[in-house]
Amino acid sequence: MDRTLRPIIPRPLESPVFDLSAGLSRSSIVRLFPERHQRHVHVPELESVNWSQFDYFGWVDAQTRTGYMVAPYRGNIVGVVLDPTKSTQRNETQCDLCGVVHNPGHACLYTAGTINPRIRIGRIICADLCCSEYLRGTRNPTKLQPIRSTDPTNGLFNLQMNLESFLDQIYRPKPTEVSGKVYEGHK
């Protein structure tokens, strides 16, 4: 496994990370998700989506509150099912991906399965999965935000880094998770 760090260059604000015109249709989006979830995935209407506003495409099923994320990852496009927890929030919460601070109830602790079926990864993420829109200013958060850098590409760069780290934890297990043996350090 290649564990070397590689620099990630932030994309310009107007450039999309991925584009549906490259042959990604509703049926191909459904096929990105694990087979056991495919018949439950209801992809929203794609005709009105402005793809230049997304670093990942996410939506929440209104009936089940399950979140779905389609994101670029190491040259591929992957689908992640995000299961909401039933926890209630009493305080302000900051999204682990984009850093936007939300009022109670506007961020959710989502969990996602990894390639090891016994391990789930949890992250607090914007409940509506609209991180890119908050950072680009096309959607306003419910809470007044702390003062940040005036350059919006810093927030987008952090979103891309945090998203890649989250997907790494889902798709690239640690050696101990694969072998089932206890890691004893470098020899």
> Are the C-beta atoms of 132 and 54 separated by less than 8 Å?
yes
Profile the chain (187 residues) by mean pLDDT over runs of 10 residues.
42 49 75 89 83 84 92 88 83 89 90 87 92 85 70 79 92 56 41
The two structure tokens encoding residue 162: 């945090």
What does the pLDDT read at residue 5? 41
Shortest CA distance to 156 belongs to which of 52, 75, 65? 52
The per-residue pLDDT of the chain, averaged, comes to: 78
> Are the C-beta atoms of 156 and 133 separated by less than 8 Å?
no
What does the pLDDT read at residue 66? 94
d(CA 112, CA 2) in angstroms, rounded, equals: 24
The two structure tokens encoding residue 142: 């419910």
What does the pLDDT read at residue 183? 40
